[in-house]
Chains A and B, each alone.
Chain A
Amino acid sequence: MKEYGRKMLELTGISKSYRRGKLRVPVLQEITLNVREGEFVTLIGPSGSGKSTLFRLIGGVERPDEGQIAVDGKVVTGKRGLISYMPQQAALFPWLSVADNISSALATSGTSKKEAKEQALEWLHRIYLGGVAKEYPHVLSGGMQQRVSFLRALLMRRDVMCLDEPFAALDALTRADMQRWLLELWESDRRSVLFVTHSIEEALMLSDRIYVLSPAPATILQEITVPFERPRRADVWMEPAFAELKREVLNLLEKGDISRV
């Protein structure tokens, strides 16, 4: 197994609760996790387990009640503009062309305008979307929009990429296709990724490590290291170890469910 470098993202004892009327509803409890340099880490948990809240905390859109967040060794709790982000819906700007959608995001992260334009075009060609670079996003299919959205996140000059259930809205076939595509692209340019999903296969397919979350208020049930080598084969799901890990995660998720009913 490859040894990973320094911790690019480190969450320590993060807790967060929301006020609903007079009640305080805890959403996250004592979450501690990290993503090392060049590592693909997945958070898996049932729907409504506060994964998106965790992302909002990392993005600095909200502040945790307790705990701290560090990016590349520096404590940056509540600070914005340090991560790149790919949401569940592609979130492309309808009035910008595909290429401009990418280059304007790069400009936000400090790339010069000219360089951003060149990079956007070059990479669109590389992922075979050069032909639609000048089109508006609404002419693209859902899968193509997600590719553009991923590329936009990949190219931003940021230490950590946060992907929030990026394939949840796609149909099964497109989804499998997208997973392979993302894997290939990511393995050629290893960035530190924090990925959220509620699909166990997706998590095992893509990641180096998995954190299993309990239902709200979320705690980390277990940390699992995925043993499959890189570059990962597309048929890795046929291995016995894959099925075994899948069962383990499934058990964890079910147990987490029962212990709270």
Chain B
Amino acid sequence: MGNKALRSFLIPIATLIGFIAVWQISCIVFEMDPWILPDPRTIALRMAEDSALLWKHFLSTLKLALMGVGLGLAVGIIVAIVLHSVSFLRTALSPLLVLSQNVPIIALGPLLMIWFDFGLMPKLILLIIVCFFPIALSMLIGLGQAEPQLREYLGMIGATRWERMKRLEFPASLPYLFSGLKITATYAVSSAVVAEWLGASKGIGYYLVLKFKGYDTSAVFGAIVCIVTLSLLLYGAAALLERLVIRWRPRTSDDWAGESS
């Protein structure tokens, strides 16, 4: 078990190191211009140079993404429960729900800024629109998936609708909710960066635009490293939260397989 856990940790790390090594060697062998494709060492040095600034932007983006996930989670759960409970609303609103995901955020962002100015508001709205959907959708499926036997049992002992939601449907939907949350956690950072890109005075997205316009390619890569790190961080937090909340399932030995089920 310990050996297996160690291996599942070491193998991805080794792959990552291999990837960076190949990148570094290729850059030296093919003598790449650093403003087209900088080598990992240059990127690292550039990041170290800008570290104080990067850290400030990093925190600002993290804050924005977390607020987005938090609000998206709340909106997603409410939408799922309302749509599950009122079948008329489910039928009526499902086209709107899909529509909300069809409009590209690159188009929605500027519109929101026209309507709500350049502050935090338009960015949060944008993030909520991106974040609530995977949660609402997967939870809505989960709410309907509660075991028929348990449903029948609660019916037979005369449980009310509210009790059925509280005792059966909500807990049964939690594994689905967390699948949605993990997708949301991954999307949230990219969306936060896009929101900052469209108009902000801080955050990784703002830094990215600045450096991109100045052809500072190694700094752009530095920003990408930050974005990837943030995404992994949020995903990891969601996975950890899932483990803490859902304790009743017999734990599978293979983590990844367990998460997909």
With A87-B149, A136-B248, A138-B248 in contact, is A93–B171 under 8 Å at CB?
A: yes
A19-27, A75-83, A125-133, A181-189: which lies at the B interface?
Answer: A75-83
A93 touches B150 (CB 8 A): yes
A95 touches B158 (CB 8 A): no
Chain A residue nearest to B168 (CB atoms) is: A93
**B250 near A138 (CB under 8 angstroms)?**
yes
- Given contacts A93-B171, A95-B171, A104-B167, whether A81 and B157 have CB atoms under 8 Å apart is yes
Flag if B150 contacts A80 (CB, 8 Å). no
User: Of A56, A109, A136, which one neighbours B156 at CB under 8 angstroms?
Assistant: A56
A61-B156 contact in complex given A89-B149, A93-B150, A136-B248, C-beta closer than 8 Å: yes
Interface residues of B, CB < 8 Å — how many?
A: 20
Judged by DSSP, the binding face of A is: loop
Residues of A within 8 A of B248 (CB): 94-96, 136, 138
The answer to whether the Cβ of B31 comes within 8 Å of any Cβ in the partner chain is no
Residues of chain A from 123 to 176 with CB closer than 8 A to chain B in the complex: 136, 138, 156, 158, 162
Q: Is B9 an interface residue (CB 8 A)?
A: no
Q: Return chain A residues, CB-CB under 8 Å to B19.
A: none
Chain B residues contacting A80 (CB-CB under 8 Å) are: 155, 158
| Identity of the chain B residue whose Cβ is nearest the Cβ of A109 in the assembled complex | B157
Complex Cα gap A138–B172 (Å): 15
Residues of B within 8 A of A (CB): 149-150, 152-153, 155-159, 163, 167-168, 171-172, 174, 246-250
Interfacial residues, chain A to chain B (CB-CB below 8 A): 55-56, 59-61, 80-85, 87, 89, 91, 93-96, 104-105, 108-109, 136, 138, 156, 158, 162
